[in-house]
Amino acid sequence: MLFLKEADVRSLLPMKDCIEQLRSAFQALAAGQAINQPRRRLILPSGAVLHQMAASCRSWFGTKIYSTHLKHGANFLFLLYDAETAKPLALLEADHLGQIRTGAASGLATDLIAPPDASILAVIGSGFQARSQAEAICAVRPVRQIRVWSRSEEKRRNYTADVSRQLGVEVVACDSARAAVEGAHIVSTATWAKDPVLESSWIAPGTHINAIGTNVATRREIPAELVFRANPVVVDSIEQAQIESGDLIQAFSEDDWDWRVVGLERVLSPGWQGSAPGDITLFKSTGLALEDVAAAAFVYERAKASGAGVELPVLYS
């Protein structure tokens, strides 16, 4: 079994390639060649949480297991298996894997439903997920300006300098969320907010929104009024969104899900009727194990071809 560290994952998983791997994975889901199992959480009295999610995609299956604690951080691991033999193939450190595939999911959704000429991106949040959002969207749209707002002025400044240098795009630190999003063509929210970080009145017709910051039912970044303005509302998994997406759970009745929400695999299916010009579009991501499997399998294949990683001793036959 191959062991791959964070540095291996980062070097072997370029954003553009990850977007295409996710495109293929959701096509597999649409064709019945993939299975996704929603996340489960074990919550301890100490505040520690164990998260587990699993999926299969064509020749691969696997599970991501990670622990989190508000005071002590997070630890991510991914196990990849061969779908035919159940043989374990690789163990990956999976922090960068999650960051890149989360950005790639927004990149895929943006590529499928955002206006093709969208060139101004607003990012709410300035952490690691906010950085991968910018990278992914620049990979699929002709972005000429990125605007960023977060609560920390220092983090906004660091984001501006780092992302501008990385992507070669003008990046502007804004003094308010409103200043960042008004007039933007694409808005990505990447926060851990409990209450909405946007107001519906700030969002112009024709704007595309990626909401990726929370996967807890009691938290939301997007107000209900804005959710109801969106057509379509696209999610990476309807089943998982009904468990985790506070943005939608707190907006919708049970009946609303049936006709308002579309899975990303359906958007990729032939004959899907997209939005009309001027429609606000919303992609609400909760992050799927399917995405991890697709990304991890790509990293594993590239590692085998390049000789990266370390072979772990066989503990059983």
Q: What percent of the chain has pLDDT over 90?
A: 93
Residue 75, CA atoms < 13 Å, CB-side half-sphere:
7
Q: Is 173 helix (H, G, I), strand (E, B) or coil?
A: strand
Rounded-to-integer distance, Cα 142 and Cα 159, Å: 20
For residue 317, pLDDT beyond 70: no
How far apart are the C-alpha atoms of 152 and 139, rounded to whole Å? 27
Which tokens go with 236?
A: 């990476």
How many C-beta atoms lie closer than 10 Å to residue 128's C-beta?
15
Per residue in 70-114, pLDDT (tens digit) is 999 999 999 999 999 999 999 999 999 999 999 999 999 999 999
Question: In this structure, are residues 162 and 169 in contact, taking their beta carbons and an 8 Å threshold?
Answer: no
| DSSP structure string for 75-94 | EEEEEEEETTT--EEEEEE-
Name the DSSP class of 232.
E
* Least confident residue range of 15-19, 137-141, 160-164, 313-317: 313-317
Of 3.40.50.2300, 3.40.190.10, 3.40.50.720, 3.40.50.261, which CATH number belongs to 115-288? 3.40.50.720
Alpha-carbon distance 106 to 54, whole Å? 20
Domain spans in the chain, listed from the N-terminal domain onward? 2-98+290-311, 115-288
Largest Cα separation within the chain, whole Å, is: 62
**What span, in angstroms and rounded, lies between the C-alpha atoms of 278 and 294?**
33
Q: Considering the domain 2-98+290-311 in this protein, what is its CATH number? A: 3.30.1780.10
Rounded to whole angstroms, the Cα distance separating 242 from 16 reads 29
Helix (H, G, I), strand (E, B) or coil at 154: helix
pLDDT of residue 316: 59
**Percent of the chain scored above 70 by pLDDT?**
99
Characterize 62-94 residue by residue with b for buried, 16 or more Cβ atoms within 10 angstroms of its Cβ, and e for exposed: bbbebbeeeeeeeebebbbbeeeeeebbbbbbb
* Residues 9-56: tens digit of each pLDDT: 999 999 999 999 999 999 999 999 999 999 999 999 999 999 999 999
